[in-house]
Every structure is written in structure tokens, then in C-alpha cells.
Structure 1
Amino acid sequence: MTPERYAKILRVLSRRQPTLTVLMDQVNKPHNLSAIIRTCDAVGVLEAHAVPPSDGRELDFTGDTFEATSGSAHKWVRVQRHVDAVQAVRGLQARGFQVLATHLSQRSVDYRDADYTRPTCVLLGAEKWGVGEGAAGAADGNIIIPMYGMVQSLNVSVAAATILFEAQRQRLATGMYGAPQLSPTELREQAFEWSYPDLAPGYRERGEPYPALDDAGQIVP
């Protein structure tokens, strides 16, 4: 760990947005998963959520395709797995998130009309079948990206980027990137996990607190 590297970690964490996230409902293609995670990192998402495909396949966060497309972003964005999209929506709502599903319905609104300065989860579905009706119905709102061409929808990773950068725009305008949203304790713990990813699991397994780091990112004896 170099002082420069540690300074960058602290700078990035100071802009992380724990109140902005995504829920990927059965998005299973590695290039889409990795591209969405890369966008999450770019806009400051701390943790993403995902439901695996209903055919029993596990989410693939490995392999050359994922690694190449993610640009190592998966190291900086945790992905919380869920077994069911509706349950995941309810759980996020219980934590205070509004869930906005990318879904065409009678209540759909232009994605730019949503207020992303609120704690927000963007719910995305796989390209072939989209967000499930149950999850879309359980969501607080449905949003769409207006389309004026012959095709009816964007690639899911492109749609995610479009919506998340609108969220970033709104949050920048209100100064939400100007002060840390993580508490000092959360920031210190996350900084240790990012700085020492090989050591952190051992501390968690033993139930021990992370050691303190000095201003250069070195472990304090």
C-alpha cells in the first residue's frame, strides 16, 4: 500500500453513494453484469444487488469476459445476492429505498422525471424478458427511457448507464458528492477492506475489528 494509493481510496470512498443502488433481476450475461457493475463504480454506487436466473444457473462474476468488461470494478462494488426479486424489492423498501423498475406500464414515467436524490434502487431485468411483473408491481414506480427508433429497448447495461448517470447528475446538482455519505466508522472499515482485501476476511471470520491505518494506509502496530 502506497500513500498515493491510500489517498485515492479515501477520495473515492468519500464520494460513495450508499443511498443509490441497482437490483439486477436475472441479468445473467457476463458482459451485461460486468458493464453494469462498472457503471455502478463510475457513479459511486457502494453495493449492488442481483437475483440469479430462474433456470438455476449461478451469477457468473468470473471469467475472461467478465474481467475484461468490468475493468476490475467488481473489486470496488459489492454484489448482494437475493433468491427472489419481489423479496429483494421489499427488503430494500424496508431499508428506506424507493425502487424504480425499468418497466413499461400504465404508471410508467420518463426516467428523467424521477427524484434520484432520494434513497433509490434502480430495478433492471434481463433483455429477453425484462423485469418480472411481480417485482415491477411491487416497485414504488416504473420508469422508461423514451425510444424514437424501430427498436423498443436498449441493451440492459446501456439502460443502466443512462439512468445511473441521470442519478449522478441530480446528486451532483444538490451537492451529494461534496461530503461523505459514509459514517467515519463505515469509511474506515471500507478503507481497510479495499486496502487489504486479503487480510479483511480473516478478521471478519474471527470476529475481530479491523486494525487502524495511519495516514499513509499502513497498519498501526
Structure 2
Amino acid sequence: MTARRLHRMRQTLEHRQPDLQVLLDQVHKPHNLSAILRTCDAVGVPRAHAVSRHQDFTVHRAASSGTGQWVDVQTHTDLPAAIRTVQGAGMKVYAAHLSEVAVDYRAVDFTQPCCLLLGAEKEGVSAEGAELADGHVIIPMFGLGASLNVSVAAAVILFEAQRQRLAAGLYEQPRLPEAEIRRTLVEWLHPRIAERCRNEGRPYPELDEDGAVIWQPATS
């Protein structure tokens, strides 16, 4: 454990954007999922929501270069429940979906609380998802292909969101509560200790300046 590693992790958490999230509906190919999570980490998206028929939601570490583990993935039983969760948290849901009401993705104000809805690799966003979304966005294309790979589309749109948020100064100050940053640092640096604390109902330990656990003396 080094102070440099602790500093890098804390800096990462201080750039997280809690009101910018992603919702994946039936995106089940591991390489696509991993690539999307890698982009989420890169732009500061702390959480991805996932709806999948597959019980095992697998992340390819090779494709995500290990970054998939830094993004929380919350699973949902169905799409309406997932969308209600996101909208209930005050975020608008924008579906990457070609329709008569779709707008250029660059025309959306991504500095506002929002969540990007991405559909399955072949089918795209479902009719149900398109109906429940607050808006539709498209990436203008001038070639013969009808669409981009879902992970590529996610990267294009999320980096536009990052560009807008950088210009608005949303990365300049931490947007996560300090208590959440400390809790997450323990989970990232000491996952086994964090799991043990959760199982035993005990608070997480404090960390020293190098990221090592500060053990408190046992009380009789």
C-alpha cells in the first residue's frame, strides 16, 4: 500500500458524478459490458444499472483492464423498475434510440441529472424503454452503417457529457459526500475487511495516510 495509490483513488472518487449514470437493458455480451464500464470509470460515472435475463452478469477483466470493478453495477428485475429507480432519484432518462422525436446527442444538456439508456446489441432500445424514457438521442451518421456498436455509442455520448460537465466546472469540487468517499476507499483498498465488517455489522475502520487500516484497540 502506498500514499500515491491512496491519493489516486481519492482523486478518482472526488471526480465522480453521482447524477450521471447509465442504464443497460439486455446488454449481455461481456466484452460490450466491460467496455461500457471502462468508459463509465473514465468519465466519472459511479453507477451503472443493468436489466438482464442472464443470472450471471459477467465482466471481462481483459476488456475493462480492471476498471470494471471501480463502477458499481446495480441489477434490476425489469426495465420499468430500473427506470423508476433512476427517475425517482431525480434523473432524466435519455434513450439512445432512433425515432421521430430523437435529437442530436450534443443538443442535450448533460450537466443536468441524467441517465443514458442503452439497449441490446442487436435490437437496441425496446419499445417499452423508448416509451418510458424522457427523451431520445441519436448520433448523426453519414455512412452506410445504420448504427454503432453499443459500447462505442456509449463512449461517444458519455464523453460529450464529460465535455459539458468539464466546461460547467462540475469536476472541480468533490460531489460525493466525504463519508461515502471514505467508505468506498476501504472497499477498494481492503475488500475482505469491508466484507467482514458488513457481515458482522461493524463500522469500517479508518485509514492512515498510506491507506493502511488503523486498528482500534479491543474494548473489554
- TM-score tier by shorter-chain length is over 0.9
1:87 shift after superposition:
1.5
1:58 to 30, 55, 58: 55
Deviations 1:97-144 (A, max 9, x none): 110001112221110111111111100011210111111111111111
1:60 shift after superposition:
3.6
One-letter amino acid of the structure 2 residue matched with residue 58 of structure 1: Q
Equivalent residue for 2:63?
A: 69
Does structure 1 residue 92 correspond to structure 2 residue 89? no
One-letter amino acid of the structure 1 residue matched with residue 16 of structure 2: R
Task: Kindly report which structure 2 residues correspond to 1:74-153, keeping only aligned pairs within 5 A, or say none.
Answer: 74-153=68-147
Gaps of 5+ in 2: 216-220
Equivalent residue for 1:33?
A: 33
1:58 shift after superposition:
2.7
One-letter amino acid of the structure 1 residue matched with residue 86 of structure 2: L
**TM-score, normalized by length of structure 1?**
0.94
Task: Kindly report which structure 2 residues correspond to 1:152-171, keeping only aligned pairs within 5 A, or say none.
Answer: 152-171=146-165
Structure 1 distance, partners of 2:28, 2:116, is 17
Gaps of 5+ in 1: none
Partner of 2:214: helix, strand, or coil? coil
Q: Which contiguous aligned blocks of 4+ residues in structure 1 show a shift greater than 4 angstroms?
A: none
Q: Do the aligned partners of 1:28 and 1:59 also contact (CA within 8 Å) in 2?
A: no
One-letter amino acid of the structure 1 residue matched with residue 46 of structure 2: L
Q: Do the aligned partners of 1:90 and 1:138 also contact (CA within 8 Å) in 2?
A: no
1:179 to 159, 173, 176: 173
Structure 2 distance, partners of 1:199, 1:116, is 37
Q: Give the percent of matched residue pairs that are identical in Structure 1 and Structure 2.
A: 53
Q: How many residues align?
A: 215
1:59 shift after superposition:
4.3
Equivalent residue for 1:12?
A: 12
Partner of 2:213: helix, strand, or coil? coil
